[in-house]
Structure formats: structure tokens, C-alpha cells
Chains A and B, each alone.
Chain A
Amino acid sequence: MDILRIATAGSVDDGKSTLIGRLLYETKSITKDKIEALEAASKRKGLDFTDLSLLTDGLIAEREQGITIDVAHIYFNTPQRKYIIADTPGHFEYTRNMVTGASNTSVSIILIDSRNGVSEQTKRHYYISSLLRTENVVVAVNKMDLVDYSEDRFKEIKESFESTVGKSGFEGQNITFVPLSSLYGDNITTVSEKMSWYKGEALLPILEKIENKEARIGAHEVPARLAVQNVIRPKTTEYHDFRGYAGRIASGEFQVGDQVIALPSRQISSVKSIIKFEQELTSAKAGESVVLTLEDDIDISRGNMIAKVGQAPEGTKAVKAKVCWMDSTELTAGKTYFLQHGVNVQKAKVVSIDSVLDVEHFEESEDRTDIKLNEIGLVNLKTAGEIFVDKYENVPTNGAFILIDPMTNNTVGLGFVQ
């Protein structure tokens, strides 16, 4: 059984929390005590309907202000599949939050209020979905009840999205438009009679058909990479000479007998066994946490990478990357950070900044020496030791890194290798 990860993004009043509440409600994922608690809380707030958004707004400040502050994770399932929704706030530190919520998802649902149409927020959300190369984008035109379920209004919004947002730099992306009303449940699980002009499917059936991105990353043709998390040496009588390399396969597939190369030592051996607890496997693919043993004793330690011979990434100390900045203290040229690529941490210095995009106004500037919160910059970095990255567009699970501020230890940026 698989798990589909979804991110939802929208502006303050697009009804995102209501949509999620509706999905939970329609899939019978809310228990009676929670519905009762919701009804009571809605009454206390003086509402004459059950406010489904109270389900996800979990922090005291959020409930007081009626807004979402931090990414919340919500779980529901349909007969065949499980879903994890990362609900990201639309207005508050949107780049930081949306990137956090959407980094691992196969689908982004972008909400638009049918009365307001495409907003600046919509553009930002779409831009981030493209930057992350999210394979599926569902543009949910919500609150159709407030525009009399008008086909013309829906078409207008669709055209406006296509023309103002433009083409993404990511050709394989699927974009689907759905008109809906979360409040009344129109086009959520089944096609609504109130919009007989709409020839597409309801939201949930669309989600049910989306292919999980994990399946693609684990395909045999994708170059295989495993970052070593721990070296396992039990030193017991039974496993006296055992030496295994524990890690989660980042991409592709490893088979017993594969010729592999350890990086950075560049020593070559072959896979002797693939161990998953008490099982021995003949092959394992992306996403699986395994222990590999090799035929020869070669130099491998924590943070190193094992790749298949002939498809190994080249080592580099110079990286060009798009960096999303997430900290109130700006990134500055000349400063040194920790760069964490998978489980490999290296010191990295910002050599230069080619350009910076202000996602607030979509203005690009080239003569900058810093990147501010919520901006995205094209940056040249120099690392202290070699790192073995792929371009994000080729192998996403080996093409991203985080930057950590050595002063605060905070995660301050996310980089996509170009």
C-alpha cells in the first residue's frame, strides 16, 4: 500500500482548512468525539455552522486569530491508499513554510478564492511548486457557491492562471483545474450536479489516480545512491568480522553482485548482501532502509556515499545552486555555513551571488551581495570537502541540501543543485 503526500497552499481566506476538514469528513476520517468538539467550539465562537477549519488550526495563536501559522500534518485514507497532507500557511513566511511542507510531496493543491481570482500569492505558490518540481499541481477554484457556480467565472480564472503564471520550467508537470465548494462539499468526492458544465472529475478521484513519485525514483534506470548513515560492527562472537553500511537508498536500485564505488575514497567492490533486519534481500530500491555488506574491506564511513560503478556522481567542491532563504538574518556573500547534503555535512562558503529573485514582487536583481528571508538566489558555493551531488532536476533525492547557520544552528536555507 502506498502513501501519497500532498501539500496545500492558499491565501488567508481561500478556505484551505475547510477543504481539508471536508476531505477528512467525507472520507470518514474524523471520529465522533472530534466532530462533537468541533461543534462545541464553533458554537462558542458564535458560528451557526460547524467550522471544519478548527480541525487543523492547532495552536492557540492560530485559533485566536483564525489563521494558520505553521505547517500541520494531517492524515486520512481512502479504501486503497493513505494520504498525508502538509497544510502550509499562505501568508505567513510563505516561502519557508511552503517549501517545508511541499518538499516531499507528489501533489500541490493550490487554492484560489473564486471571487478574488488569481492573486500574487497564487503566483508564488505556483512558482514554489515548479521550483520543487512537484509533478502534479491541482488548482482548486474554491467557493464556487459564492459566484453562483458560474462556468464563465471558472474559465476566466483558468485562463488568467495560464496567462499570468505562464509556463513552468518543468515540462513534465501536470496541471489540473477543479471548481469546488469546500463548504458545501461540491466536487470533493463526487461530481456536483450544481456544476453540470464541468466535465472533469471531482478532487478526490483526481488524487486517487496520481502516481506516487517514490515509484519513479526507485526505478532501475535511475542512478543508484546510498548515503551511509552508520557503519554497523557488532563485534559479537556470532558477527565477529561483520561490517555493514546502514542507510536509506536515495535513488535507483541495488542488487546483490552490483559493482559499487565508495565516495570519496573511490575504492571499488561489489555488493555481498542486502540486509533488512532478519531478512536477506536480493535487491532493494529507493526509500528502503537497509544494511549493505561488500565483498572487500574498503574505506567507508558515515556521510560517505555508495553508488553503482559507471553511474556515480562526480565529486565537486564548487556548487551552483538555487537557494531559498528562510531566516531573518540574510545570507551574505563571503559568509561560511554548514552545508548538509543528505547526511554529509561540510563547511561551505558563499563565493558569489549571481542573481536574486524577490518572490514578493517577482523582481530579479543581479547586483546583490545578500539574500533576504523568502527570497530565492542563484548562488556559488565552495565546500571544504568534496560532495557528490546530482542536479536536482536529474536526481531530486540527491540534488538538494540545507544550509545551517553555525552561529545559531538553525536551518536557514534550502539549496537545489543546478
Chain B
Amino acid sequence: MINKNIDTVSELNNRTDFESNRSFPRQLEDEAIYIMREVAAQFEKPAILFSGGKDSITLVRLAQKAFYPGKIPFPLLHVDTGHNFPETIEFRDKLVAELGLELIVGNVEDSIREGKVKEETGKYASRNALQTVTLLDAIEANKFDACIGGARRDEEKARAKERIFSVRDDFGQWDAKKQRPEMFEMLNGKIEVGENVRVFPISNWTELDVWNYIKEEKIEIPSIYYAHQRQVFFRDGMIWSDSEFINKSEDEVPYEATVRFRTVGDMTCTAAVSSDADNIDQIIDEIIGAEISERGARIDDKRSEAAMEKRKQQGYF
């Protein structure tokens, strides 16, 4: 229902009172389910790219709904940097067992051992950028022709321009200027052998939509999204989780703090936020009041203004 009273506009100064921030628009679920069903029908061997983060968990839920009472017709593909939060892996394995899914893991470790990529060195060493090679290898080895991902257009401005069916060439590359027009709901998944498509069913969701959906659907998520005690240290204005995978300098002394993660990547590229939010309602409140965007906590995006676009051109998810 739309409030016909224009006063709503002058009340814009308090976002915490927005009714629209507190409920999930069901059209977004209908749209995502439609997309899932198109993937199943148009491709021979699709997979869900699963990171263990809230967006990919949401995808699993949508796939479950799309084919109910049948089973999810896609395996999960996890690109494992070897630097995961243990809580995420535990969660992944439990979900796979519960739903009886097939899990395929591509290891960045293997790509390093095979000499396909070189481990980064120095203070900011991360395997985030190396994932691309492992992902492309896994796609090729398993002959996946469609990979369903949880990227959203509100996350980042290069993503704001990506289509729902995003065609990648033999090298996994995205060409922003040659995207297929997508009109009404019609999705064209025709490709040549060797090409593949990245599919983004939750393109039109915002971060809050995902959280409200998780709340309304009572979806389980890894414990690190909720406030917990953790050894952390401070670097470049962000809170980093202390781990054996991060090269700390001498003055970076770890301390214990109550934190949670707003986004979950690997341990070397995801910053924590200081928070006491230990349930979903508090998380939603926190996000509504947040002054920092979600990817503001992604160290990998901060490398340059065009960091995301450059990685996408090279085949990054």
C-alpha cells in the first residue's frame, strides 16, 4: 500500500522508522525463483557458487523453493582459498548434508601448487585475487555452463551494470560494452561451447532485502554474522581478525573484542565490525543505522576505485 499522504517525504529524516526497511518485498523472491527455473531449463550443467556467506545461503533457499517438492537440481561449487573461517566450512558441510546436495570444492592451494598462480607476499597478501584462476579451472574441469552467484547490483557500481544472465567467454571474461540487452523477463542463455554464463538471481535485492528475507524465512546463517568474542587487531581504520594467514607487523597487537562480520569472504579480505548484535533484529537495526556500506568492509575493493571492474574483466565472480 502506498501512503497517499505527502508528509511521508518530509519525514524522510529518520530512516529507522521506514516501514520499507522492515519487510521483504515478495516480488523479489518470485523473480529469483523464475530465474532459478530458467537456469535449470536452459543449461545442461549449472552450479551454485557457494561461499558460505549469507547471499549464497539465500540462493540455496531460493533453489529449494523453485523446485519444491523436487530436489535442487544443481551442485554447490565452493572455491576454497584455504583461508576460510572455520565456522563457514562447518556450516557449509551441515547444509549440504541436510539438503542432500552435491558439493564440489576447487582449492586455491592446488592452483598454487600447480604453479598457475603465485601466492602474494607482504602485509596485504591475500588469496582473494587468486580465486579467479581456481574458479575458471573448476568451471572447465566440471564443464559447468552456468554458475549461479549471489552478487547484487547495490553492492558496487560496476555490478550495478551487470545483467542477470552475464555471458563470459572462454577466458571467463566480462565485457561490459557487449552485454546482451535483457527486456521484460526474457532471459537468453544461448551460448557456444566453451562459453559460460554467470547468473545473478538476486541482482535486484539490497543488503537489507537479504537480511529481511533471512529473518522472515528463518534461515540459518554461520555464527560469525552474530556478535562474538574474537582476537582482532586494528589496521587502516578497520578491524581485522587475527589469524595465521595474515602477516602482521610488530605494532599490530591483537586484542579481544566483541565483533561480528557483515560480509563473509576469506579471512584475509574481510574486516569485522564492532557490534553487540547477537540476533537478527539487532543486525537489521544496525544495518539500517549504518554509516558504512557493506563492501566498505571489503579490503579487496579498496585497492582502487575500479578494483571490482578490473577483477570482473579477468573473470572474477
Binding site for B on A (CB under 8 A): 1-3, 26-28, 31-34, 37, 41, 55-61, 63, 69-75, 77-82, 84, 96-97, 99-100, 103-104, 189-190, 201-202, 204-205, 208-209, 211, 214, 229-230, 232-234, 236, 238-239, 242, 244, 246-248, 275-278, 287-289, 291, 302, 326, 338, 340, 342-343, 397, 400-402, 404, 409-411, 414
Contacts and interface: CB of A to CB of B under 8 A. Distances in A.
Contacts of B37: 229-230, 246-247, 289
B314 interface: no
Given A208-B3, A248-B33, 15 more contacts: A2-B2, A3-B25, A27-B12, A28-B15, A34-B296, A190-B9, A209-B2, A229-B34, A229-B38, A234-B69, A289-B33, A343-B38, A409-B190, A409-B192, A414-B181
Given A3-B28, A96-B181, A233 B186 contact: no
A100 B182 contact: yes
B292 to A, nearest CB: 5
Contacts, number: 214
Contact of B158 (A58, A205, A239, A246): A58
Interface residues of B, number: 73
Contact of B183 (A73, A238, A275, A414): A414
A246 B67 contact: yes
A239 B31 CA distance: 26
Contacts of A229: 34, 37-38, 40-41
Contact of A74 (B29, B71, B160): B160
A55 to B, nearest CB: 7
Interface in B1-52: 1-4, 6, 8-13, 15, 17-21, 23-25, 27-31, 33-34, 37-38, 40-41
Chain A CB within 10 A, most for which of B4, B190, B192, B309? B190
A209 B4 contact: yes
A247 B188 CA distance: 17
Given A72-B161, A78-B18, A232 B184 contact: no
A280 to B, nearest CB: 11
A77 B20 contact: yes
Interface of B: 1-4, 6, 8-13, 15, 17-21, 23-25, 27-31, 33-34, 37-38, 40-41, 64-71, 153-154, 156-161, 176-177, 179-186, 188, 190-192, 203-204, 206, 290-293, 296, 305-306, 309-310
Contact of A232 (B67, B186, B192, B290): B67
Contacts of B1: 80
Contacts of B190: 338, 404, 409
A96 B181 CA distance: 7
B204 A84 contact: yes
Given A33-B296, A78-B9, A232 B69 contact: yes
A401 B184 CA distance: 9
B183 A400 contact: yes
B309 A58 contact: yes
A411 B8 CA distance: 41
B270 to A, nearest CB: 16
Contacts of B180: 410-411
Given A58-B309, A79-B3, A82-B25, A28 B68 contact: no
B211 to A, nearest CB: 14
B292 A58 contact: no
B161 A77 contact: no
Given A33-B296, A246-B66, A343-B41, A205 B6 contact: yes
A43 B269 CA distance: 28
Contacts of B188: 340, 402, 404, 409, 411
Contacts of B68: 232, 275, 277-278, 291
A343 to B, nearest CB: 7
A79 B11 contact: yes
For the complex of A and B, the 7 pairs showing the least CB-CB separation, nearest first, are: A58-B157, A32-B291, A289-B33, A409-B190, A229-B37, A100-B181, A103-B183
Chain A CB within 10 A, most for which of B21, B70, B206? B70
Given A26-B12, A31-B296, A58-B309, A80 B160 contact: no
A100 B184 contact: no
Contact of A208 (B9, B25, B27, B185): B9
A3 B27 contact: yes
Contacts of A82: 20, 25, 206
Given A31-B296, A190-B9, A404-B190, A77 B18 contact: yes
Contacts of B4: 209
A59 to B, nearest CB: 5
30 contacts: A1-B25, A2-B25, A3-B204, A55-B157, A58-B156, A72-B161, A75-B153, A75-B154, A75-B204, A77-B21, A79-B11, A79-B12, A79-B20, A80-B3, A82-B20, A99-B181, A204-B9, A208-B3, A208-B8, A230-B37, A238-B69, A248-B30, A248-B33, A248-B34, A277-B65, A289-B33, A342-B185, A409-B191, A411-B188, A414-B183
Nearest to B71: A234
Given A78-B20, A80-B2, A208-B8, A31 B15 contact: no
Chain A CB within 10 A, most for which of B2, B24, B28, B180? B2
A391 B309 CA distance: 40
Nearest to B204: A84
B225 to A, nearest CB: 19
A214 B293 contact: no
A354 to B, nearest CB: 22
A278 B218 CA distance: 14
Contacts of A291: 68
